[in-house]
Amino acid sequence: MSVNVLLPLALYYALRAQGTAQWQALLLSGVIPAAHALGSAVVRRRVEFFDFLVVVLLAISAATSLISGDPRVLLLKDAGLPAVLGLWILGTLGVSRPFAFTFGGALRDRAGAEAAELAWRDRPEFREALRGLTVVWGCGQLLDAALSTVAALTLPVDVVPVIGRFQSVALLGLVAVITVRRSRGFHARHGISLFGVRAVAEEPQAEVAVRP
């Protein structure tokens, strides 16, 4: 979080305090998350979709801003990222496993993964719950994109970076709270976990005492 949120903000306002033009300060501060994304790809020896998206959006917005000289073009980059992510998340509703199911895979052990596959195959309420959470996550990202677009086009340029960063964090937190509440409610109603490491074990039958 510090690399992608706090450091770019600190650099932007430090550059502005030194008299750097808005578009230059935005461009230079945007290099930090892009460099972090490239460094992560080198370390992992593979390019993740999110890392690729960060670099591409920075390159496009930087080229456009250099031509137009308008700093608001660079601000729109921060709207483009959640817009693409939101559309991608909602697009997974049309594949075999939606985003929420795949996300939960990182939280499950092997037994939990097998139980989740069985629940996905046999329990329509399990599928419905994960598809519903996928919609929540996708719409949350699209809301972030819409609010960021309005801010980039209407608010003073120097206040947009800080508002946009904390807006995104707040929306992610809200979506996370919704996810936890829905997951707990589902567990309470149906006795299985949407994201847990393992399925809830069946209660053992009470032993019957036999008198001699």
Residues 66, 40: Cα–Cα separation, whole Å:
27
Domain region containing 6: 2-190
Give domain status of residue 166, yes or no: yes
Angle at 192 between CA 187 and CA 193, to 5 degrees: 70
Give domain status of residue 203, yes or no: no
Q: Most confidently modeled of 14-28, 164-178, 198-212?
A: 164-178
pLDDT, one tens digit per residue, over 142-175 is 999 999 999 999 999 999 999 988 898 899 999 9
Give domain status of residue 212, yes or no: no
Give domain status of residue 207, yes or no: no
Give domain status of residue 97, yes or no: yes
Give domain status of residue 209, yes or no: no
Q: What total of structural domains would you count in the chain?
A: 1
Residues 121, 130: Cα–Cα separation, whole Å:
13
Residues 212, 209: Cα–Cα separation, whole Å:
10
Q: How far is CA 6 from the centre of its chain?
A: 17
pTM of the model: 0.79
pLDDT, one tens digit per residue, over 57-74 is 777 776 776 666 688 888
Give domain status of residue 141, yes or no: yes
Give domain status of residue 201, yes or no: no
Q: For residues 131-157, b (16+ Cβ closer than 10 Å) or e, as one string? A: eebbbbbbebbbbbbebbbebbeeeeb
